[in-house]
Structure 1
């Protein structure tokens, strides 16, 4: 402590001795600033540009590189191809069609240069005279822009790298980039790039899309008035929008014409005649062609962007060729099946919701829809009371019609996967991508209903149960916590008879499935479902899970069924097989993910064999008697409470396909116990698709699922015993070749028809869903296969 005090005293003495010297030095510095010498002034003046130059040098690495500029000007978007080489999509950065400078009207070029940058051909990216004049005018209160066309191009191409704020840093970055562009490109190349990248509102980029959007013509046919109108928009797209602000746009067009006269690009006499002419806009939004698999392409774009970022590629400029797993023939069959069934069910929905008892302003559900609408919230925000807003919207016929159309629009999701390798073969996310881009394959989570039951039976078989085991069809009451009881039903009283597990699965018995769930355990069923493919959705391990009360995606369910069809081996769905560069050289190949055996082959085959019963004698038998499919297939139907969701998934050795049918709002249904079932709503989509796939021999109708060979010492003994007592082979009699007839004669009227060979598709039959709506609604429910009852509501909230 004493040493510290002594050091502190020494420090104070040192400061006291040097304080006068420091004060004197500070005083001399202040005097120098008050009365600077010539040398100080010169140094200060030289320091300012030096500092500015240093700042510019520091900013150069933070501006786009020359290679990046070359990529943008030679844009080559990624080409998305199917497995059989058909084009599915093209990943453009914007809705733009690139046209060469020779394909653009000379009026456009004259108007652009005369108005935006009349010394364009003379400068090297920066117009110093214009920049200084703009700065002086800005300082005097009249703010003006001094950017050249090259600077504007730099800002349009690289808004993120250059920035948008009106700061010195942004202007310097813009200038540096403009100089780089001028160093790389000729003046004509700069003009071509500018006119093909400039935005014109309404998702129209470039002069070609602008010409189509505003005048229903092409860029090479724009006349001088049309060219002046479009060039005039560049000063402010929204402010001079010819659709919403025609008067401003007309005034701006005439200013552009005046500039053309001033720069010698238009005769004064002609200007006097043109200035009085109207705009004559022929407006139509330009939409990108969605392609045959738009929802698939949308999901693929997200994946490809992440891949390109990791591997330093651009999906817009590097000309990548992406070969997907989609089969264009199967995709076309899926699109057709969704279209046909969607239209048929929409007629039924329109008839059901067209009744006043279903849709009228005083119906509680309709009023709920009104209160949830943006129009209702906007009315409340403007000060209307809840009652006034409700009354106004109820009286608005256009609003009510649009609301009804939105809420009662049938939607369908469809997915097909090759179970052997996980290749996605067909993907349809909705009935119409342009009307509803929401993907009902990957994004939508809905209750799967009875399509979840195979996980319960699969867990039971894994634990040693057999399809021949029996349970009593009886009332079930399961405590789910506290005093709450869950009582699943099948829509009618239980029979009291015993049923085999195979028959219970085929007939989709809720009471039997609930009892089985109690025996095997909900947690184990949930774990098995996750292992088999339901890996993204949350599954609640409660008794009602047996009847599919936890929402899942169609992609997860089809993937899980693929595990069954692949002998218990899970394969992650695969979208891309390989990526090539623009010259066809392979950049990366993608094979199936590592196989995961989640069920023993014998257990998987037992489950699949039981699900054959669904098709042969159960709720899915329309696959046989209506669509004539004789191939070896298995599957499951599914219907949720109040018929809100209809499901059907079908398995073949080469292909697993599933469909979901419903409305975006789960409160809306087909209002029919018949058409709301998965056997009548979703099954026809898959049946139609599979029938076409089999007929085209894309899927081999002769392939069959085979039971795995037994292993172990007991299996070897049984094989030895069969071989020991096997009968001697008998030579087949020689077959005589039948002579070829000139032409087949007519079959005798009483001749029996040839029996249908198993494994071969039957001739096409009639499709009652394509008949008139009145015939559809009168069609008898008899002979359509057994009803699949939806799960009864859980009496315990926690069991839902």
Structure 2
């Protein structure tokens, strides 16, 4: 290497020495040009130009791309039962044939933009030369033909819009290709269907609807001239914001039509004096039956198409999804019905019509967060004066009050066996609130998180019959703080089983169980079961659902419970086909991953059955008549800010959330704010409809009965053989047959009967029809009875059994204590109960 470097340097030095005379000679000829040299240079310039054009040709859109643009087919999104859910278009456009466009539009367009359209082959040399001369003289003018403009509209990324020679050459090359491929009528049709007109209106049809509330076939001469005039500058000649400029430009177009024989001078004299007469209305694409689902699917499909070299706007993809259009309709109806009824309650308690007259203090807080208040403060006003100014704006106050007190709700249903999403409703009304609460909103889940605590305990060896003493709980946290979870009633100092702790959503019992199991273990298990995107803070208060999560995560995790502990990731698509029906990709169900042992999961399902049979979710049966083997859990957060309910069935898991976008706003009711009265009716209405339509088989049951192992089975046979051998009399016949595998375990003897098919379903406005939970019985009561609790309501959600003549005032069931969210590190606790500990 040491010898090589000097030799290279020496060679380079010799080369420069030889080149110096040549360079010097070339520079001398440039300074002293000869006639022959000038002629050679002039002859070389066209050759260089042609060479440059040839180099640019591969960098312009190919023939196949242009043909594809002409037959553009957006992706079609189909439900599992073959119904159209959405079409993914690149813009808000409706393609119309040239024969369905008013001739006035074509006449105005050609007269104004390209009057020699039928004489050239994509490039008007005379117009281009004239535009170039005007530009060089300082008066910049455009010389693009309709075909060149179409090239820019179709391929803005490949051609660009910079005012450079390269861009103009690429535009001209593409225009020649388009002329070679299209007829003149096809070029006009494509141009008029792709040109933008502001306000998300693309193409002449959407422009006609937006500005004149009519179809493109009905446009008059004046209307056609107005829209054609916008092509020179959409914003500058916007007839909505700049009517004077638009009127002037419209008359210029009319003048061009007179010049090229498309309009008589007499007609021009009459028409030019008339006003614009705009009938403006923004055009929005129909949201479809599952708009929030389609919104999420669009993101997924865009990524898939990029990876697999497809264009989801032009390649005619057919995407077959997991949504069942019938279940989707039922879910939308259930959310709308319950949301509207709760909105009436919210309007009443907040005084919405009077500008939140019943919540003035919070309204002032909202007003201080508005840009109007900040502008008033920036102007030098004091807090009181700035607040008075914004408060005097009635329209602002009314709009702010209505937006803040608008009840929101979402819903998700999923098949737990394969993870296929069957129904997805992201808000009450997509047009008013396109924000997707199912996947994007993170809210505290309240007591719907408790099953993960009990699942961790059962996996560690606890049994549903294990008990904790209902006593005051104080759990020390990091930093010297103490967490004191509580229930609505006072501690009873009696033993309560884990079964009743979950059925009646007892906070003190769950907190003690959490202390025994450990927050870290519960957080890990919840993540494994499906809560995988949101951060779970492993602190004791996590037991009561203080870490915000999404409904999609919760339904997915409950799907793991319904699937006997096997986690299956939620899926939206089963197959993608091309326009001919050929399968491009198929997404087979992924085998479940066992995240919770089957034995622990069976116990959890059996305990969660009691929630709907006699606990906080019993109105699922008593009010909505939901039949079959179902289980679930209600949830309510501090101040009734969030109401939750999730129901599981072997074939379907469905969950709902109800609240407000701003968690500081609540229904201000200890009754309607609870998950059993806000979110449960959505799920109940949906399940009721689905069962009546036979979309859910009520005969299918969870496989929660465990078959005995080999040793237990042989031991039982041996004991029976010895009993028969030494018995003095024939063995007695068993009183009842052993339940076969897959049947439902009987409830305790003291549990009240569950009405399966009520004679009539109650309405939301009749709380007396919602049964109340029975009081827990005291120690010493009949065998099989539930452990006792303090007097009064155990859990304020719907109660099971009996219909008292005078129902007590309902109280919140599973409210997160005010200090539940205190950050702290997890501290392992030990059981202080008198019974067995997990």
**Fold match (TM-score > 0.5):** yes
Asked if 1:429 corresponds to 2:426, the answer is: yes
Bigger mean CA offset, 385-394 vs 718-727: 718-727
1:244-272 CA distances to partner (integer Å, 9 max, x unpaired)? 21121111111111111111111111111
Bigger mean CA offset, 244-253 vs 37-46: 37-46
1:792: which partner in 2?
Answer: 817
- Deviation, 1:728, is 9.0
1:56: which partner in 2?
Answer: 53
1:509: which partner in 2?
Answer: 506
Whether the 8 Å contact between 1:83 and 1:326 is mirrored in structure 2 is yes
Whether the 8 Å contact between 1:618 and 1:786 is mirrored in structure 2 is no
Mark the CA change 1:227 to 1:482 in structure 2 (over 3 Å): closer, same or farther: same
- Deviation, 1:524, is 0.6
Residue of 110, 114, 131 corresponding to 1:113: 110
Mark the CA change 1:186 to 1:196 in structure 2 (over 3 Å): closer, same or farther: same
1:266: which partner in 2?
Answer: 263
Mark the CA change 1:78 to 1:795 in structure 2 (over 3 Å): closer, same or farther: closer
Mark the CA change 1:112 to 1:357 in structure 2 (over 3 Å): closer, same or farther: closer
Give matches, 1:557-568, under 5 Å. Answer: 557-568=554-565
1:201: which partner in 2?
Answer: 198
Whether the 8 Å contact between 2:613 and 2:754 is mirrored in structure 1 is no
Distance in 1 (CA, whole Å) between partners of 2:591 and 2:153 is: 45
Asked if 1:246 corresponds to 2:243, the answer is: yes
1:526-578 CA distances to partner (integer Å, 9 max, x unpaired)? 01001100011111111111110111000000000010011111111111111
1:170: which partner in 2?
Answer: 167
Bigger mean CA offset, 415-424 vs 785-794: 785-794
Bigger mean CA offset, 109-118 vs 762-771: 762-771
2:461: which partner in 1?
Answer: 464
Distance in 1 (CA, whole Å) between partners of 2:708 and 2:274 is: 90
Give matches, 1:199-598, under 5 Å. Answer: 199-354=196-351, 359=356, 363-379=360-376, 388-598=385-595
1:739: which partner in 2?
Answer: none
Mark the CA change 1:558 to 1:727 in structure 2 (over 3 Å): closer, same or farther: farther
Whether the 8 Å contact between 2:622 and 2:755 is mirrored in structure 1 is no
Mark the CA change 1:379 to 1:57 in structure 2 (over 3 Å): closer, same or farther: farther
SS class of match (1:647): strand
SS class of match (2:591): coil
1:279-326 CA distances to partner (integer Å, 9 max, x unpaired)? 121111111110111000100111111111112222111221111111
Distance in 2 (CA, whole Å) between partners of 1:551 and 1:638 is: 13
SS class of match (2:625): coil
Bigger mean CA offset, 709-718 vs 354-363: 354-363
Distance in 1 (CA, whole Å) between partners of 2:492 and 2:130 is: 95
Distance in 1 (CA, whole Å) between partners of 2:136 and 2:16 is: 49
SS class of match (1:517): helix
Distance in 1 (CA, whole Å) between partners of 2:575 and 2:820 is: 51
Distance in 1 (CA, whole Å) between partners of 2:439 and 2:541 is: 24
Distance in 2 (CA, whole Å) between partners of 1:757 and 1:62 is: 77
Distance in 1 (CA, whole Å) between partners of 2:462 and 2:16 is: 98
- Deviation, 1:173, is 2.0
Whether the 8 Å contact between 1:628 and 1:763 is mirrored in structure 2 is no
Distance in 2 (CA, whole Å) between partners of 1:718 and 1:362 is: 69
Bigger mean CA offset, 658-667 vs 38-47: 38-47
Mark the CA change 1:382 to 1:112 in structure 2 (over 3 Å): closer, same or farther: farther
Q: Which runs of 5+ in 1 are unaligned?
A: 731-755, 772-778
1:767: which partner in 2?
Answer: 763
Distance in 2 (CA, whole Å) between partners of 1:27 and 1:285 is: 68
Give matches, 1:550-699, under 5 Å. Answer: 550-699=547-696
Whether the 8 Å contact between 1:650 and 1:657 is mirrored in structure 2 is yes
Give matches, 1:126-145, under 5 Å. Answer: 126-145=123-142
Distance in 2 (CA, whole Å) between partners of 1:452 and 1:781 is: 32
- Deviation, 1:36, is 1.2
Give matches, 1:688-767, under 5 Å. Answer: 688-707=685-704, 709-710=706-707, 712-717=709-714, 720=717, 761-762=757-758, 764-767=760-763
Whether the 8 Å contact between 1:638 and 1:678 is mirrored in structure 2 is yes
Distance in 2 (CA, whole Å) between partners of 1:386 and 1:116 is: 57
Asked if 1:46 corresponds to 2:43, the answer is: yes
Distance in 1 (CA, whole Å) between partners of 2:104 and 2:353 is: 59
Whether the 8 Å contact between 1:471 and 1:500 is mirrored in structure 2 is yes
1:632-687 CA distances to partner (integer Å, 9 max, x unpaired)? 11000001111111100001111100000000011111111111111111011101
TM-score by length of 1: 0.90
SS class of match (1:797): coil
Asked if 1:782 corresponds to 2:807, the answer is: yes
Distance in 2 (CA, whole Å) between partners of 1:757 and 1:518 is: 34
- Deviation, 1:22, is 8.0
Distance in 2 (CA, whole Å) between partners of 1:339 and 1:22 is: 84
Residue of 102, 114, 122 corresponding to 2:119: 122
Mark the CA change 1:602 to 1:451 in structure 2 (over 3 Å): closer, same or farther: same
1:603-626 CA distances to partner (integer Å, 9 max, x unpaired)? 111001000111111111111111
Whether the 8 Å contact between 2:78 and 2:318 is mirrored in structure 1 is yes
SS class of match (1:414): strand
RMSD, aligned CA: 3.0
Whether the 8 Å contact between 1:485 and 1:795 is mirrored in structure 2 is no
Mark the CA change 1:338 to 1:770 in structure 2 (over 3 Å): closer, same or farther: farther
Mark the CA change 1:361 to 1:134 in structure 2 (over 3 Å): closer, same or farther: farther
Distance in 1 (CA, whole Å) between partners of 2:733 and 2:486 is: 55
Mark the CA change 1:799 to 1:784 in structure 2 (over 3 Å): closer, same or farther: farther
1:340-384 CA distances to partner (integer Å, 9 max, x unpaired)? 100011011111111899935994432331232233345556776
1:740: which partner in 2?
Answer: none
Mark the CA change 1:38 to 1:457 in structure 2 (over 3 Å): closer, same or farther: same
- Deviation, 1:768, is 3.0
Mark the CA change 1:367 to 1:446 in structure 2 (over 3 Å): closer, same or farther: same
Distance in 1 (CA, whole Å) between partners of 2:809 and 2:414 is: 28
Mark the CA change 1:256 to 1:385 in structure 2 (over 3 Å): closer, same or farther: farther
Whether the 8 Å contact between 1:649 and 1:656 is mirrored in structure 2 is yes
2:144: which partner in 1?
Answer: 147
1:34: which partner in 2?
Answer: 31
1:701-722 CA distances to partner (integer Å, 9 max, x unpaired)? 1222122543643243267469
- Deviation, 1:195, is 0.4
Distance in 1 (CA, whole Å) between partners of 2:415 and 2:809 is: 29
- Deviation, 1:397, is 0.3
- Deviation, 1:445, is 0.5
Whether the 8 Å contact between 1:460 and 1:520 is mirrored in structure 2 is yes
Distance in 2 (CA, whole Å) between partners of 1:718 and 1:587 is: 56
Whether the 8 Å contact between 2:349 and 2:358 is mirrored in structure 1 is no
SS class of match (2:477): strand
Distance in 2 (CA, whole Å) between partners of 1:207 and 1:26 is: 60
Bigger mean CA offset, 551-560 vs 300-309: 300-309
TM-score by length of 2: 0.86
- Deviation, 1:202, is 1.3
Whether the 8 Å contact between 1:602 and 1:708 is mirrored in structure 2 is no
Distance in 2 (CA, whole Å) between partners of 1:355 and 1:646 is: 21
SS class of match (1:579): strand
SS class of match (2:632): strand
Distance in 2 (CA, whole Å) between partners of 1:361 and 1:793 is: 23
Distance in 1 (CA, whole Å) between partners of 2:702 and 2:265 is: 84
How many residue pairs are counted as aligned between the two chains?
761
